[in-house]
Structure 1
Amino acid sequence: MNNLHRLFRRMTTKASSPPLGVPLKPRQESELGRNLDPKFRIITWNVDAGAHFSDSRLEAIVSHILSLKPVADIIFFQEVSKPALLHLLKDTRIRESWFSTEADTTNWRGHIFATMMLVSKARFRPSNESMPVSALGPVWRVKFPSRFGRDALCSDIFVSPSSTDNSSQISRLRLINVHLDSLALEPSRRPKQLSITAEMLREAGKGLIAGDFNPVLPEDNTLVADNGLLDAWTKIHDSEPGFTWGVDGKQAFPPGRLDKIAMLGLQPHEIEVMHPGVIEKEEFGVGQVPWSDHSGLRCTFEF
């Protein structure tokens, strides 16, 4: 997995984004391929580190994601436990077909869980000339002001919108995976956290923030719009609830649309909620165990 990690050029914990306006290296420019499929597909899922069998549940989620057609290009996970990460990194399907931002648990830094990204080799492999993306940029983490040690996991990718290798036509797309602070504690840190990430998108010009936004206070309902971002769900589905948590009625709180995809300079085409299935654990006397307490989101978008 170390080879996969090296393809994401660096991992830092600096509280700032990489410098802008840096020209691509000649090799990167020549690797940018023809734009035959302008659409990208992202899946985001909070995989619930708190429940038992985190490795088996994540394996079931991954199996479901990999069975979907068309396949995803980008996967965001939140609440990945250390055992679940180590189990995932041994998965032959992941090792052969996906690049990972994480090679080990270094970025967990004493926490029970953290975020991670996977990107498809089929879409992002540098030698691929049938897709527009062939240059993976830097990966870094930005520490949030947070009660829970949360951060933003960020990466840039470079996209050629034409069949030429003219570097002036190369676009940067910034991807930010978030798990904003939990609970209805006041003053809330979520407004500042989303403001930080929205500013990072504006620096890059276009991109998305996806993950668990934890909107549990009234002020959270307008945070995406207040930061000049487009909520992919409301753009496509308007006032449909789109609940991603509490849909089984077993939680202590009402259902909520806790998970979101917020965009800048991108056009969402489709977005759907993917409700979790179950794994069978009869041998442990617990019967069926849901994959997660969250549902996932699957979104198709383009520039």
Structure 2
Amino acid sequence: MDYRMMARLRPDEPNFQPFFFFDPSLDPPRWRPVSPPKHNAPHPPAGVPTDKIHLLSWNIDFTTPLAEERMTAALKYLGDLQAEHEKSDGSPTVIFFQEMVASDLHLINETPWVREKFYMTDLSGGHWRSYYGTTTLIDRRLSPERVFRVPYKLSAMQRDALFVDVKVEDSVIRLCNTHLESLASGVSRRPVQLKLASTFMHGTNGSSNDNTGPSKDAISLPTPQAAILAGDLNAFAPEDAVAPGECNLEDAYLAVGGTEGAEEGFTWGYQSPSEFAPSRMDKVLFSGRIEPLAFRLMGKGLKIRVDVRNSDEEENDPADDPFEDIWVTDHFGLVADFRIEPREGN
């Protein structure tokens, strides 16, 4: 963890960072950064569908033991989903992860299908403010323009919003991967955090809290045609239900016919013991000229079988089952498909 980088991050402002692609032509083959000008990035092939985006978002619990085994299983599951998607719709994919730790990032950047087909925003936690954070994978058939983080000043848990701008035709689509403040301790913070993220989604430039106005970095950001925000919003309180509307954001689950408060939409509370009731903690929100086509949950009931024998014990009872099934994570993941509407005047 580069704590010098952490100290330089400006809260409530865009902090630009590079993104990376795996270059097999290097000796040895390795990930390399892409920073403007992006002359060293691979160009998207001709004929790429430019009117749709396939989004996946998943919080992989960092507090549960066997992190590497669980993340390995999650990546295998996602790789299978991606292969199925490529055989059917085939639209470009973006994947949001929350609660990543260093071992997760290593496993992601070692995964063959990720190396072959995706850009990655983070190879290390150097742009996080804590030992865990968010990372985003962007289909290499898309054209990323910039990546920036907006650390939430009002956050005891050092949370942030990770933005990626992708160019589609002549328009900018802004993608936001975020993890809002957790549970009861964050009830008063989450609406403020979501409001800040929404200002960048709408293109009305975030501004600093010292009354000096927007920074030059905020002013340099283009206004997107549309924006999508997804992640673990820790939404379980009444304030969380109304916050998206107060930020002029639409809810993809509701837009495609889901019902608020219906158990079928709950994403958390079934795969982890808790004092809190199940709820729709994870959401996909959007704004601008973009239309949700489909929404579903993924990863429900996903477990791995692990050896729980204690190697320090001199003897193990042969009658005991040495294996146990454990949840890969405590959250269900989200899958949403969007169609990008034509620009006005086209």
1:70 maps to a residue whose letter is: H
Specify which of 219, 227, 249 is matched with residue 207 of structure 1: 227
TM-aligned CA distance change 1:189 to 1:35, over 3 Å? same
Mapped pair 1:302 → 2:339:
yes
Q: 1:246·1:256 contact (CA, 8 Å) conserved in 2?
A: yes
Relative to the length of structure 2, the TM-score reads: 0.70
TM-aligned CA distance change 1:48 to 1:236, over 3 Å? same
**Unmatched 5+ residue regions in structure 2?**
1-7, 17-35, 87-91, 204-223, 310-321, 341-346
Aligned length: 266
CA RMSD in angstroms, aligned pairs only: 2.6
TM-aligned CA distance change 1:36 to 1:98, over 3 Å? closer
Show the 5 A alignment for 1:145-164: 145-160=154-169
Looking at structure 1, the residues matched to 75 and 182 of structure 2 have their Cα atoms a distance apart, in angstroms, of: 25
The SS at the match of 2:254 is helix
Identity %: 28
2:185 maps to a residue whose letter is: L
In structure 2, the residue matched to 1:38 is: 51
Specify which of 87, 103, 128 is matched with residue 108 of structure 1: 128
Q: 2:125·2:132 contact (CA, 8 Å) conserved in 1?
A: no
In structure 2, the residue matched to 1:291 is: 328
Specify which of 283, 306, 330 is matched with residue 281 of structure 1: 306
The SS at the match of 1:50 is coil
Quote the offset at 1:251 in angstroms: 3.0
Rg comparison, structure with higher value: 2
**Unmatched 5+ residue regions in structure 1?**
1-11, 125-134, 161-169
In structure 1, the residue matched to 2:139 is: 120
> Which has the larger helix fraction?
1
Show the 5 A alignment for 1:1-303: 13-14=9-10, 15-17=12-14, 36=49, 38-68=51-81, 69-71=84-86, 73-109=93-129, 111-121=130-140, 123-124=141-142, 135-144=143-152, 145-160=154-169, 170-185=170-185, 188-203=188-203, 204-239=224-259, 240-241=262-263, 242-248=265-271, 250-265=273-288, 266-274=290-298, 275-284=300-309, 285=322, 287-303=324-340
What is the CA deviation profile of residues 232-275 of structure 1, one whole-angstrom value per residue up to 9, with x for unaligned ones? 00111331430110124743321110000000022101000111
TM-aligned CA distance change 1:88 to 1:248, over 3 Å? closer
In structure 1, the residue matched to 2:212 is: none
2:228 maps to a residue whose letter is: L
TM-aligned CA distance change 1:26 to 1:192, over 3 Å? closer
Relative to the length of structure 1, the TM-score reads: 0.80
